[in-house]
Amino acid sequence: MPEQSNFSKEDDGSRPIGQRPTADQVLLAPRPARERQAFTRTDPWRVLRILGEFVEGFDTLSDVDTAVAIFGSARMKPDNPWYAKAVETARLFAAANFAVITGGGPGIMEAANKGAREGGTLSIGLNIELPHEQAPNPYLNRVINFRYFFVRKTMFIKYSRGFVFFPGGYGTLDELFEALTLIQTDRIKNFPVILMGRDYWSGMVSWLKDVVAKEAMISPKDLELFRVTDDPEEAVRVVVESVGRQLLEGRPGG
């Protein structure tokens, strides 16, 4: 059966070649509004949107070389001690000449972007379209809005030299375990993953050690893929030292 993808519905390919519309004619021919709207809901159209998001992300972040991604709860209020700790951590990264990348929203993300701005470094937000309309926080020098989580995740991994996780919920845990999985499976270079808040993360760490590793679902060595601390200076030092080793070894980061 002849391929009909380049022909209009009225042209089934049975007419002589000279009488068939050209590909340009089919492309440029007016279409009913209903048909145009239907196409924007099809998978081929979504593929183009996805491609566009990748291109925009790569283009916007192409000059970002040394950056750290900071994650944490969007629900954290400015009067929470962890908010101030995130501001301090980002400010210290700025002093070490790191750009700071967050999800661009409120809470810990806002705190990290605030610290980055106060420290005079590039403050980046990778915002995501959500049903409850997550708006970019006011401390961003550069923001990209995404429709698709997996495109956004790629940008975090590609342009960060380390991940720092403050207390957070499902979104924070999602980013944490995806990063650990990519490192564990050698899909990306091993780079530092820092958990800020010993008390907050202690239950999860104990479960990984006493249940998951004990039942051989992960190896004991996998527990070394992250570090837990309460100290912003330690978090920054671990990431900076990791980047220094990467430069000495002549290889890029994560």
Summarize pLDDT for 161-175 with one digit per residue, the tens. Answer: 999 999 999 999 999
Using the 8-state DSSP alphabet, how is residue 135 labeled?
Answer: P
Is 13 domain-assigned?
no
Which pLDDT value is given to residue 19?
A: 65
The residue ranking higher by pLDDT, 10 or 245, is 245
Considering the domain boundaries, does residue 48 fall inside one? no
Structural contact between residues 111 and 134, judged by C-beta atoms closer than 8 angstroms: no
* Domain carrying residue 99: 53-248
Give the chain's domain count.
1
Quick check: is 11 in a domain? no
Does a structural domain hold residue 181? yes
Instruction: State the average pLDDT over residues 181-187.
Output: 94
- The model's confidence at residue 10, banded by pLDDT at 50, 70 and 90, is very low
Is residue 31 one of the residues assigned to a domain?
A: no
Supply the CATH number for residue 130's domain.
3.40.50.450
pLDDT digits (tens, 9 = 90+) for 20-65: 776 556 656 776 777 666 666 677 778 888 999 999 999 999 999 9
**pLDDT tens, position by position, 76-102:** 999 999 999 999 999 999 999 999 999
Nearest to 100 by CA among 72, 140, 135: 140
Residue 219 has pLDDT above 50, yes or no: yes
Scanning the structure block, which residue is given the tokens 């996805």? Answer: 50
